[in-house]
Amino acid sequence: MPSILQCHPQSSYLSHRTAIDAAIARVLVGESYILGSETSAFENEFAAYLGLSHSIGVANGTDAIELALRALDIGPGDGVLTVSHTAVATVAAITLTGATPVLVDVDPESCTLCPKALEKILSEWNHGTLSGKPKLKAIVPVHLYGRPAAMEDILSLAEKHGLAVVEDCAQAHGATWRGRRVGTFGIASAFSFYPTKNLGAIGDGGAVATSDGALADRVRHLRQYGWNRERIAVLPGKNSRLDELQAAILRAKLPHLNADNDKRRALSEIYRQALLGKIGLVEGDGPDFLSARHQFVIRHPKRDTLRERLRGNGILTLVHYPHPAHLHPGYQNLCVIPLPLLETERAAAEVLSLPLFPELPPQDAETVCTALLEILPSA
């Protein structure tokens, strides 16, 4: 029986239990169970939290990316640049639009999209004789582990090459770059409310956020059969609605998101101070950005040995992610890889996510450090 879990969504419920129970009770006796007053209230509250005019609740984070891209008219024949070192959902969402994922290597220090690799791909894309290449339309940077991607370079390359930016914020609710929340830099952004995310529902949920009213309307149409307000299908849509129960639960939890992120940060500081200089760390915060501290990630060439020995000490860890998207059989033939993904493949072999969730007792984080420092010399 492990004594320290890597994540534990139930403890998030327990710490917000009264508010969540009241929210659920309110929905049960409410007027509607789908796209009612809870969903629209959550959409307004979440948009206000980000500092944007619109958020649109959808069924999950994968759909949020897909619908944001489709609302931008991205589909078959188009190319969307993103990373392979991410949840496979990012790449899945791009393929769901009919577009082709064009995969870019990560920077070894941040584990997010490498601007140099991006620049090289963009400058070489239209040279050469290869025919049938997808037309590049957008970049989907992933704020992995809660750390903002290299937005300055990404935004300027996007502008130079006429590409839309859709941020994958599934791991970064509340992260900031230059004092502004991530999710506000691209034309649109996508959030997941999967239970283990920084803002987690008790089931599936997601949102698209944007300050573009016309784009928001298109996402609203796409999430429900293509329907406009008069229930005329003006676009070919799908069913991707956020339900009232999840919206009400998210409303109960949103006011605590910043405090929960602060708890993640305090735990991360315990890890950082004990481990800095002793093992590779994927740093979270930087001079002009603050991570949402979704994961605390260490790197080691013998990652699997460390993981096994920690488990022997009753400490559970996870790997985000052991297989880059382009090495999953279901996606390997659907992606374009203009340059080798060497840092991506190295990261996948080395990264390890330590236990981290707001309710993790600080002394458990200390126990993890002690165990890890004991194991390290003989790993």
Ligand X SMILES: *Cc1c(COP(=O)(O)O)cnc(C)c1O
Least distance (Å) between residue 229 CB and ligand X: 27
Residue 352, helix vs strand vs coil: strand
In the bound complex, what is the minimum distance in angstroms from residue 168's beta carbon to ligand X? 5
Residue 194 makes contact with ligand X by CB under 6 A: yes
Q: What does residue 10 show for φ and ψ, rounded to 5 degrees?
A: -60, -35
* Rounded least distance, CB 72 to ligand X, Å: 17
Q: Which helix (H) or strand (E) holds 351?
A: strand 351-354
Calculate ∠ Cα 45-51-57, nearest 5°.
Answer: 45
Contacts of 52 (CB under 8 A, 6+ apart): 183, 184, 209, 210, 211
Q: How many CB atoms lie within 10 A of CB 37?
A: 15
DSSP string, 155-186: HHHHHHHT-EEEEE-TT-TT-EETTEETTSSS
Among 39, 171, 189, 268, binds ligand X (CB under 6 A): 171
Nearest partner of 360 among 258, 255, 267, judged by Cα = 267
Among 105, 168, 243, 345, binds ligand X (CB under 6 A): 168
User: Shortest gap between Cβ of 367 and ligand X (angstroms)?
Assistant: 27
Between CA 139 and CA 134 the distance in angstroms is: 13
Query: According to CB under 6 A, which residues from 198 to 217 bind ligand X?
Result: 204, 206
Rounded CA-CA distance 57/241 in Å is 7
User: If 0-12 CB within 10 Å is exposed, 13-18 middle and 19+ buried, where does residue 378 land?
Assistant: exposed
Q: Does 174 bind ligand X (CB under 6 A)?
A: no
Give the CB-side neighbour count of residue 89, counting CA atoms within 13 A.
19
- Beta carbon nearer to ligand X, 67 or 163: 67
Residue 143 CB, nearest approach to ligand X (Å): 8
Least distance in Å: CB of 129 to ligand X?
Answer: 35
- Between 282 and 372, CB nearer to ligand X: 282
Residue 366 beta carbon to ligand X: minimum distance, rounded to whole angstroms: 27
Q: Return the residue of 192, 224, 295, 344 that touches ligand X, per CB under 6 A.
A: 192
102 contacts 336 by C-beta, under 8 angstroms:
yes
Closest CB to ligand X among residues 6, 90 = 90
- Smallest distance, Å, CB 193 to ligand X? 7
Token digits of residue 110: 């941040």
The alpha carbon dihedral of 109, 111, 113, 117 has a sign of positive
CB of 107 to ligand X, least distance (A): 16
Closest to ligand X by CB, 251 vs 320, is 320
Distances in whole angstroms, Cα of residue 290 to Cα of each of 87, 140, 141, 174:
21, 20, 16, 9
* Structure tokens, 280: 């590779």
Number of residues in contact with ligand X under rule CB under 6 A: 15
Q: Closer to ligand X at the Cβ: 85 or 265? A: 85
Among the listed residues 87, 88, 54, the one whose alpha carbon sits nearest the alpha carbon of residue 68 = 54
Rounded to 10 degrees, what is the CA torsion of 31, 33, 37, 41? Answer: 150
Contacts (CB under 6 A) with ligand X, residues 68-127:
86-87, 89-90
Nearer to ligand X, 125 or 324 (CB): 324
| Complex with ligand X: residue 194 or 357, whichever CB lies closer | 194
Q: Answer yes or no whether residue 321 interacts with ligand X by CB under 6 A.
A: no
Beta carbon of residue 313, minimum distance to ligand X (angstroms, whole number): 27
Return the number of the residue (27 or 92) whose C-beta is nearest ligand X. Answer: 92
Identity (one letter) of the amino acid at 174?
A: G
Kindly tell me which of 55 and 86 has the beta carbon lying closer to ligand X: 86
Q: How far apart are CA 9 and CA 359, in angstroms?
A: 9
Among 62, 100, 189, 344, binds ligand X (CB under 6 A): 62
| Minimal CB distance residue for ligand X | 61
**Site of interaction with ligand X (CB under 6 A):** 60-62, 86-87, 89-90, 142, 168, 170-171, 192, 194, 204, 206
